[in-house]
Structure 1
């Protein structure tokens, strides 16, 4: 059930990002992790992490898209670099 929810959320985000001009989209890794009880012995749930990488030379467009995607996604990090061109 969790995997299906994550897939649906990612597909929605990918569709939204693909509509924005001049944004390069890449999917990164996707992993599932068990969540244990306080004693660390019994699995009580699962946590999943998926990566969606967005790149653009247009900071304003990328910032707007990122803000919109954060209604359904959580951000794990943001990096900046200078364009080679």
Structure 2
């Protein structure tokens, strides 16, 4: 029987290891739900980002970087275009 400290350590390790997967899944779902016209107004390609995020699922560090780049840099542009704020 594991001790409470071992159990807490195992839970923390699993949570930390699943973070890249959760971040990639969030990015993938957000990317897929944005309308095509918002992507066009933002000057980005939805299919390219969907493919990049899906490929990122296969590579841990690459997936984390791709998903982070999408969520921090691309998503705000597409969301702004969806809200009518176009440069």
Task: Report the TM-score when normalising by structure 1.
Answer: 0.35
Q: Flag the structure with higher helix content.
A: 2
Q: Flag the structure with higher strand content.
A: 1
Task: Report the TM-score when normalising by structure 2.
Answer: 0.34
| Larger radius of gyration between Structure 1 and Structure 2 | 2
